[in-house]
Every structure is written in structure tokens, then in C-alpha cells.
Amino acid sequence: MLMAIDVGNTNMVFGLLEGEKLIGSFRLMTDANRTSDEIGLIACQYFRRFNLTTDQISDIIIASVVPQVMYTLTSAMVKYFGKKPIIVDEDVSSGIYYEGEDHLGADRSVSCVAAMEKYGKPLVVLDFGTATTVDALDAQGTYLGGCILAGIRVSTDALFHQAAMLPRIELICPQSVLGQNTVSQIQAGSVMGYIGAIEYLIRHTKEEMGCGSEGKVVATGGLARMIADNTKLIDVVDGQLILDGLRIIYERYKKEQNRQ
């Protein structure tokens, strides 16, 4: 069984995969102050709860955008599972290349790998996390570029913290743009306004790609379903995209090793 770990700015998602099948998953809050023992013991509790054993794990692969937690996370995997994790962009490449001095975040490149494998090309891949990202891939699988904007929760939390009279709100899409109270008005502006921004980015991304109506728009991340339910421009919501991408990269890595 493969353990795939997606380390995001808000949560770490642990997925247990037997071939293409996701056996189970759990998540921990991403916390740089958490010790390796805390991570290891919590993970072991999950295994005991579902009658699994740590020796069922054959390998571990990690994609991370939070370098500060990697030492303790890696130490926990070695100590409690007896496996040195394979790290995307350190031990193995995703195969997605990004022109310029910066490199594409591991979560984004892994999502692109999975989306191409599962849904074909060309593609627009959206990830609704702490930040929302948009990535474009052409019919040959070449990475064309993308954009980053603050996630919807980050945006509404900033409004709450910076405006003394405005409350923190539940993220739901209201029935009308014209709210009748403060909460519904913030929801209308924040949620419906965000959906409008996403639709604008999708349209212009496809225009710049020159793919017309071809190519699917695939979304992942915690708020992907809410956004997709309120627009016709998102074709697929896949909450397992990064875990599947990690599995695909791992399988390619093992095949390459076996050929050597």
C-alpha cells in the first residue's frame, strides 16, 4: 500500500492507495510547531482505528508547499513507518516543466500530472486551496502558464480582520446578489464575486490557449464543489486529484528504477 501525502498551507492530507483505489484518507492541520512524534502517533491512531498496520505501507511519497514542516514530517515517517519518503521535486520530478527562474509548486505540478492522465489534454486545472491557482496545459501536455489569487477564505477572513463592523461569515452562495442583511451581502460580494472572477479567468485562459471549447476545466481543493455548483464553466470536480497525481508519479518512478 502506498501512502501519498499532500502538504498544503492549511492541511496535510494523507491518502492510502492500493493500486488506483483509495483505501482511506485523513488530514492534519499543517503546523510547523508539531513534533514528529505528534504526527507519527496521530497517523498510527488512524491505522489502529481501521484495523490497518504500519507494515502494510510499502512506500511513502510527499508533495509539499510548506518547507518548514518537512523535517518533522519526514522524521515521523521514518520513525513510525520505517520508510524514507520520496519527495516530489527533490527525489523525483513531476515531469511538468516551468519556464523561468521559479519552479511550479509541487501541488500544482502533481495536479497537472493527474488531470492529464485522467481527463486528457488540453486542460485548465483549478485548485481551490489557501490560494487559488489556475494552470493551463496544451494538447501536447506543455505547461503554458497560470495565475494565482488569494483563496476565498483568505479573502473573507481579511475582510473580517480589517473591517471592525463586519462579521466572519459561512461560505455559501446566496440566492441573490442583493442581500437583505450584512451577512448575505458579504456572502453575495465574496462568494458570487469570487465565482465571477473565476469565470473571467477561465474564459481568458482558454482564449489565450487558443483551444476554444476544447479541453476540460478540472477543479480540486476544499471549495471546488461549491464553486463548480454555481458555474457552468467547470466540467469536473476531483477531490482526489493530488493523491492520484502522487500515485502516478510514484508508479513512473518505480518503472524507471526497474529499467536501470
Q: Is 15 left (phi over 0), alpha (psi -120 to 50) or beta?
A: beta
Task: Report whether 32 contacts 44 (CB < 8 A).
Answer: no
Three-state secondary structure call for residue 253 = helix
Portion of the chain with pLDDT greater than 70, in percent: 98
Sign of CA dihedral 80, 81, 87, 88: negative
| CB crowding 79-99: b at 16 or more within 10 Å, else e | ebbebebbbbeeebebebebe
What residues does 218 pair with on adjacent strands? 125, 236
What is the model's pTM? 0.90
**Long-range pairs, 98-102, Cβ under 8 A, ≥24:** 98/143
At residue 31, does pLDDT exceed 90?
A: yes
- Grid cell at residue 204: 481568458
Q: What whole-number distance in Å separates Cα of residue 46 and Cα of residue 236?
A: 30
In whole angstroms, what is the distance from residue 156 CA to residue 198 CA?
16
| Residue 79 to residue 73: CA distance in whole angstroms | 10
- The gap from C-alpha 167 to its chain's centroid, in whole angstroms, comes to 28
The burial of 24, by beta-carbon neighbours within 10 Å (0-12 exposed, 13-18 middle, 19 or more buried), is given as: middle
- The answer to whether residues 9 and 29 touch, using CB atoms and an 8 Å cutoff, is no
| Catalytic residue annotation | 107
Whole-angstrom distance, CA of residue 200 vs CA of residue 32: 36
Q: Which has more pLDDT, 256 or 229? A: 229
Confidence band of 127 (pLDDT split at 50, 70, 90): very high
pLDDT for position 201: 96
Q: Whole-angstrom Cα distance, residue 197 to residue 199?
A: 5
Q: Are strands 236-237 and 11-18 parallel, antiparallel or unpaired?
A: unpaired
Instruction: Give the whole-angstrom CA distance, residue 87 versus residue 69.
Output: 13
pLDDT digits (tens, 9 = 90+) for 196-250: 999 999 999 999 998 777 889 999 998 899 999 999 999 999 999 999 999 999 9
Helix (H) or strand (E) segment spanning residue 198: helix 193-209
Mean pLDDT of the chain: 91
**Among the listed residues 61, 107, 67, the one whose alpha carbon sits nearest the alpha carbon of residue 84:** 61
| Mean pLDDT computed over 186-197 | 89
